[in-house]
Amino acid sequence: MIEPPLYLSADDVRRALPMSAAIAAMREAFTQLSNGQVTLPPRQHIAVPDEHGVALVMACHSAAQKLFSLKFITLFDQNRSKGLPLIQSLVILTDGTTGQHLAVMDGAALTAIRTGAASGLATQVLARPDAGIVAIFGAGVQARTQLEAVACARSIGTAYVYDPDAAAADRFAAEISRQLNLPVERAASPKDALENADVVCTATTSSSPVFDDGDVNRGIHINAIGSYRPDVTEIPPATVCRARVVVDHRPSASEEAGDLLVPLKQGLITESHFHTELGEILAGKAKGRSSAAEITLFKSVGVAIQDLCAAARALENARRLGLGAPMQTAP
- For 37-94, the DSSP string reads -EE-PPPEEEEEGGGTEEEEEEEEEETTTTEEEEEEEEEETTTGGGT--SEEEEEEEE
What are the residue boundaries of the structural domains of the chain, listed by start? 6-110+305-326, 128-303
pLDDT at 38: 96
pLDDT tens-digit map of 202-233: 999 888 999 999 999 999 999 999 877 888 89
Query: Alpha-carbon distance 94 to 79, whole Å?
Result: 31
Give me the amino acid identity at 233: T
Which residues have CB under 8 Å from 10's CB, separation 6+? Answer: 106, 108, 109
Question: Of 171 and 207, which is predicted with more confidence?
Answer: 171
Residue 150 has pLDDT above 90, yes or no: yes
Q: In 3-state terms, what secondary structure has residue 282?
A: helix
Which residues have CB under 8 Å from 127's CB, separation 6+? Answer: 153, 154, 198, 199, 221, 289, 296
Q: Whole-number mean pLDDT of the chain?
A: 94
Segment holding 116, helix H or strand E: helix 107-126
Residue 69 has pLDDT above 60, yes or no: yes
Query: Alpha-carbon distance 231 to 135, whole Å?
Result: 24
Residue 47 has pLDDT above 90, yes or no: yes
Residue range 288-304: average pLDDT?
A: 95
pLDDT at 231: 83
Give me the amino acid identity at 307: D
pLDDT at 228: 72
Torsion angle of the four alpha carbons 298, 74, 327, 92, in this order, in degrees rounded to the nearest 10: -40
Phi/psi for 114 (5° steps) reads -70, -30
pLDDT at 2: 79
Give me the amino acid identity at 210: V
pLDDT at 329: 61
pLDDT tens-digit map of 92-114: 999 999 999 999 999 999 999 99
User: Model's pTM, two decimal places?
Assistant: 0.93
Is 315:6 a contact under the CB 8 Å cutoff?
yes
Query: For the CA atoms of the chain, what is the radius of gyration?
Result: 19
Q: In 3-state terms, what secondary structure has residue 233?
A: coil
Assign 1 a pLDDT band (cuts: 50, 70, 90): low
Domain 6-110+305-326 indexed as CATH 1.10.3720.10: no
CATH superfamily of 128-303: NAD(P)-binding Rossmann-like Domain (3.40.50.720)
